[in-house]
Structure 1
Amino acid sequence: MKKNIDIVEEKKSLFDLVIGIIFKSKSFKYFLGKEVSIYLAQIYLFFWMTFLFSACFTSEEKLLEYLNSVITDKVVITVLYTIISSIITIGSIEFLAKGMKKSSFIKLISDDIALSIGRAMYTIGSSLSGVCIAATVFLFSTSDYDNAIKFGWSSVLLGFVLFVYGFCISYWCSKQKL
């Protein structure tokens, strides 16, 4: 019995070693994979929220009401202002951190602050993408293919742009740790 436990422990150690090399390495590929996974999980979450708000795609009225609450006429300007505001915030925090002592609280948390801004971009992008994907699925189910394709492409485009922006911020903050 003792020998079997030792063999399992050896296999487990070898397995852990292989997993460690492939998935736990601090490479760019690992970081990109992790960030894409986080972003896709957020899109999935917002898709299901839209699904539930629309009474499981049974009520077009509820779906439209929810879509109108998330996607407004001001969504493009809001996203643009959010990007500009994030640049100003990161610049201000980094400027303050440069002038502080090495042990200053601002200097210690400046990367975490910037990382949270990158994740905020993920949240904005994934919420809009998730809603658009849900609308796409609904429109395909009602055979409104033209509008479904429009929503689908807008989801992909908006989601991609905000992912790239959030990813660049997150990677910039984490590159010293990689």
Structure 2
Amino acid sequence: MLIFYGLSQAGRAIAAAAASVPKGNQDWRLRGHGISQIGWGADLPDIKVHATKTGSFVSLSKLLDSPVWREQDAVPLTALWDCIPDTRHLALRNDEHRRAPLLVVPENHVRQHPTIIATVAYLPPAVVSSARPAEDLDTYMTAFPEADGYLPALTGDAPPRPHFSPHRDGWGEVVMM
């Protein structure tokens, strides 16, 4: 319940502050949640959500010029859940194709450098401890098209492999350039 009300208040604040709503216009007032589900009664990971014709979700999508998921474009709840960074340890379904958000921390934010260098964290244990680390990292990173062309720092081993820094929980990080 707290999450619902928190999201509701955040949505109302965004709508009230939207520059696209003329002053004095009350169109920013949100009513109803505007989301429906497909698969009611199914296991939680099998439920899909989509926008209704009206409601807060639809109104905010219009204000933010963001696409609305209609019933034919329903999104699996697992895909939405996996967008939340802190859920990497709480998968709704264990799936080798699951992609948790990465944490990217630029290393060269203070000085000018022609190459962007960043630590990329929250790589899953299956990648960090893989017997084929370079191949598995490449496969994992295909889900992040913005990272295309960036290369991991390599170890001095023969053959070289990504230089992962494992975390205590099995997840890990690597410097990429």
Query: Computing the radius of gyration over CA atoms, which structure comes out larger, 1 or 2?
Result: 1
More helix by share: 1
Bigger relative contact order (CA 8 A; separation at least 6): 1
Pairwise same-fold verdict (TM > 0.5): no
Q: TM-score, normalising length from structure 1?
A: 0.24
Q: TM-score, normalising length from structure 2?
A: 0.24
